[in-house]
Amino acid sequence: MLIEKLFLNILIVLAPTLVLTAIGDRWPFVRSTFGIGLLQGLSSMLCLIFSYEALNLYWDLRYVPLVISTIYGGPIAGAVNYLIIIATRTYLGGSALLFGYISITFTFLLLLFPSWKMKGTSGKYRIRGTLLISVLPSLVMLAVLVSFTMLKDISIQLEHNPAVTVLLFGFFQSTAACISAMLQEVCHERIVMKQEIQHNEKMKTLGQLAASIAHEVRNPLTVVKGFLQMMRPHEQGKNAQYLEIALGELERTEAIINDYLYFAKPKLTKIESFSLSDMLQNVTTLFMPMATNNGVLLSSNLQGDIMIHTDRGQLQQALFNIIKNAVEATPSDGEVLLHLTGHDQHAQIVVMDNGKGMTKEQVSRIGTLFFTTKEVGTGIGTALAVRIIQSMNGVITYESEPGAGTKVTIKVPYQVVA
């Protein structure tokens, strides 16, 4: 009877993940912290209701959803699950109710620290962690069994040998936790992949639109620029000054159009080996007058002489845009720091500022065309920088909080082949 009940509990434990997979896209609430807590809490409740009763104790897999909700939903989701278990256990009652409270509370508290340590992990690391953590409830249940039978002077009479029963219970609990964690990871990967596909499709559409507009606009601009250049030798005084301003603005417009065209179809054209340390030092030197004029301290901490093999011009353009944004976002008396280190197979560049920062929603939109936090701007500079780093098989991440500044981390392989 015990084995049948545990098999039924396994099906109940896996149900929330199946629900999440089925309706998670249409109902975002089920993927929220409270949604995860409620779904997993319902699973724990059903495990308790359909449990195996022996020695006035309930043998079930209620703690597996508690582990999953705490690890994948966080402490708040775990707390929601915990309260549902407490309420269900209170409803069922019994002479071991106090031991049930102690067991449930102690298990939940034990889960809080490892859940915090596993925050930010994913894939096989989180699955392994969940498997290891699932052993904790088994140990708690064993302690409750021994304590309860000793205090109540109850002779242990189980369907199987007590040691076999505890091992069997632990095996089913760890198996259910492992399978549930694997399904959670599959569901998470599917959601991330879908978001990436949608983002790439959006970027492709915007890129094609930008390229189409840029092509159409560049032709008449070329004609206008040509006629203005023909007029230059024949103008004097203010007219000559106005011509120079007009030509300068036309050149700036052409540069913006070229950026849009590159964004639509990034291409590494000139691959060469160069010192990344020297290049960053040069970029820092170029921005020093701008930073000084804005009252911003621009400093760098560059590790050794790191050599890299990629398109120097494109990488410099990406870094130029990122550092420029950092300097402009930093108020007077603020600081911008460049940090360069070498790791296994890639160089890591970190640009940190203590400027106005961004909200999570703004950070999520970084790299999108036409999005900018500036009062005046197109957002093409940041979007172009992201595209350049990605075209080099690199990774660029943004971390920011309002009022606390922004941290940009760039990882580029030592050798990039076009």
Q: Are strands 405-413 and 395-401 parallel, antiparallel or unpaired?
A: antiparallel
Q: What are phi and psi of 192, to 5 degrees?
A: -65, -40
Identical fold, 199-264 and 271-413: no
2: tokens are 């015990």
Q: What are phi and psi of 398, to 5 degrees?
A: -120, 135
Q: How far apart are CA 414 and CA 348, in angstroms?
A: 10
DSSP state letters, 43-111: HHHHHHHTPEEETTEEES-THHHHHHHHHHH-HHHHHHHHHHHHHHHHHH--TTHHHHHHHHHHHHHHH
Q: Give the SS3 label for residue 299.
A: strand
233: tokens are 């030798």
Contact between residue 181 and residue 131 where contact means Cβ atoms under 8 Å apart = yes
Between CA 274 and CA 282, with CA 276 as vertex, the angle to 5 degrees is 100
Contact between residue 58 and residue 93 where contact means Cβ atoms under 8 Å apart = no
Cβ of 275: how many Cβ atoms within 10 Å? 16
User: Residue 381 CA to chain centroid, in angstroms?
Assistant: 23
Contact between residue 184 and residue 94 where contact means Cβ atoms under 8 Å apart = no
Identity at 68, one-letter amino acid code: I
Architecture of the domain delimited by 271-413: 2-Layer Sandwich (3.30)
DSSP state letters, 340-392: EEEETTEEEEEEEE-SS---HHHHHTTT-TT--SSSS--SHHHHHHHHHHHHT
Q: How far apart are CA 209 and CA 213, in angstroms?
A: 6
Cβ of 388: how many Cβ atoms within 10 Å? 26
Per-residue confidence of the chain (418 residues) as pLDDT tens digits? 677 888 888 889 888 888 887 777 677 787 788 888 899 999 999 988 988 776 667 778 888 899 888 888 888 999 999 999 999 989 888 777 887 788 888 888 888 887 777 776 777 778 888 888 887 777 777 776 666 666 655 555 555 566 667 777 778 888 888 888 888 888 878 877 887 777 777 766 766 666 676 666 766 777 777 777 777 777 777 778 888 888 878 877 777 676 666 666 666 677 888 888 888 888 888 888 888 888 888 888 887 778 888 888 888 888 888 888 888 888 888 888 998 888 778 888 999 988 888 888 888 777 666 666 665 555 677 888 888 888 888 888 888 888 888 899 999 888 765 5
The full set of domain ranges for the chain reads 2-198, 199-264, 271-413
Contact between residue 175 and residue 64 where contact means Cβ atoms under 8 Å apart = no
Q: How far apart are CA 328 and CA 291, in angstroms?
A: 8
114: tokens are 């490892």
Q: Give the SS3 label for residue 335.
A: strand
Q: What are phi and psi of 176, to 5 degrees?
A: -65, -40
Architecture of the domain delimited by 199-264: Orthogonal Bundle (1.10)
